[in-house]
Amino acid sequence: MRSPILLFLITIMMTVFISEKASAQSRYAYKNCEYTIDFPESPSVKTLFTRELEEKERPSAQVSRMFTWKVPINPFFVSIGEHAVYKRVDPNSGEYLNIQTTCFGVDREYLRNLTPEKIKKLINRITNVTKLKKVSYDVTNELGDRQWVTMQGYFLIRGTNKIISRTTHVLTGARTLMVIEAEYSADNPTIARQYSLVAESIHVNIE
């Protein structure tokens, strides 16, 4: 039979473990965005500046990508929005998790006129779905006026049977659009679980 002191020490250790696990989560919430997402650690973050829209000959790589999305961007004063990247690679196997989040201001009329079908077409511009296998789309209808469409698919690393999962989420708000792009080694259960936890953490940012 365990002594009361031993049980007390075990309880303290479990409490510390749980609190450390909880604090390890880093909530990413761009100040103008209408959604939040939790990462295991803080992602690297880059502000996307309004001037990059005006100086189209010298935009950042991410803003250059955004031009191809054909979305009417509505700048937030000096910034368009923000781009966050969380990437981890197993040094032994090379298996990886790469999640990129872009949140930016969008013309409100454009947002009001979006439908799930139009969002699917937007996802197809963001992600080259022609190179993916078993592509599927999921529409979340529990956000009121907001919309959330998810595309899932996968591809195989050339010359191997290793599966790389590719998921793109597009979430609309009253004034912003959030794009979450995830690519990860699906055969690695730890990495797959880590992605699932991140995906499950996506929430409307209500202040």
Pairwise CA distance, residues 80 & 32, whole Å: 10
Is residue 119 situated within a structural domain?
A: yes
Pick from 47, 65, 25, 150: nearest CA to 103: 47
Number of domains within the chain: 1
Q: Which H/E stretch holds residue 19?
A: helix 4-23
* Domain membership flag for residue 139: yes
Instruction: Determine the residue type at 151.
Output: M
The owner of tokens 């010298």 is 58
| Under 8 Å between Cβ of 79 and 42 | no
Give the pLDDT of residue 207: 57
Domain annotation covers residue 21: no
What is the average per-residue pLDDT within 78-102? 94
165: domain CATH number is 3.40.1000.10
Task: For 178-191, write each residue's pLDDT tens digit.
Answer: 999 999 999 999 99
**Does some domain include residue 60?**
yes
Residue 93 tokens, joined = 């196997």
Domain of 189 in residue numbering reads as 26-204
pLDDT at res. 134: 95
Is residue 12 situated within a structural domain? no
Per-residue model confidence as pLDDT tens digits over 110-150: 999 999 999 999 999 999 888 899 999 999 866 667 899 99
Q: Which helix (H) or strand (E) holds 45?
A: strand 44-49
CB-based contact 163:150 (threshold 8 Å)? no
